[in-house]
Amino acid sequence: MAVRFTAPVNETLIEIADRLGIEIPRLCYKAGMEAVGNCRSCMVEIKGERVLAASCCRTATAGMQVTTNNERVRKSQQLVIELLQADMPEREYTRHNEVDEWAVKLKLESRGSRRAPPCRQTCRMPPSR
């Protein structure tokens, strides 16, 4: 679904998406704090650019075309969450675990699940040493 948008010069793509009700995953981004663009879970595709862009760090330019949910973007978002999940400890320390919540929203298979030992035996993503 294509949405035309206008935005002030200093609004980032993730802020625009939030305003338009378009959901983009995010972990290191928090409104009101300086965006650092490290987690790489908020990636979007900008037409004409070779690599994906971190939507928390990019402001809109005239004529820019942004895709938030094609195969390439979704795959990237899923892999980032999966990589992080594979390194997480067995027990949760927080009731609201953002990584797991995004994994559910992005429909990640339990390939990298760290939940139960039997899953771990079959999962393909090795946990860190």
Partner 1 sequence: MRRHEEGHTFYGYLPGGASGGILPASLGDVPLDFDTLQPYGCFIGSAAVIVLSNQDTAKAAARNMMRFFEHESCGQCTPCRAGTAKTNMLIAKDDWDKPLLAELSQVMRDASICGLGQAASNPVDYRHQILFQTN
Site residues (vs partner 1, CB under 8 A): 37-41, 43, 51-52, 72, 75-76, 79-80, 83-84, 86-87, 124-126, 128-129
Cβ-contact 55, 42 below 8 angstroms: yes
Q: How far apart are CB 53 and partner 1 at their closest, in Å? A: 9
Could you tell me the sign of the dihedral formed by the alpha carbons of 115, 121, 122, 123, in that order? positive
C-alpha to C-alpha distance for 67 and 13, rounded to whole angstroms: 11
Cβ-based nearer residue to partner 1, 19 or 30: 30
**Residue linked to tokens 């949405």:** 3
> Smallest distance, Å, CB 8 to partner 1?
26
When the beta carbons of 2 and 51 are compared against partner 1, the nearer one is 51
Q: Which residues contact 60 (CB under 8 A, 6 or more apart)?
A: 5, 7, 11, 13, 16, 66
CB of 38 to partner 1, least distance (A): 5
Nearer to partner 1, 64 or 83 (CB): 83
User: Between 15 and 55, whose beta carbon lies closer to partner 1?
Assistant: 55
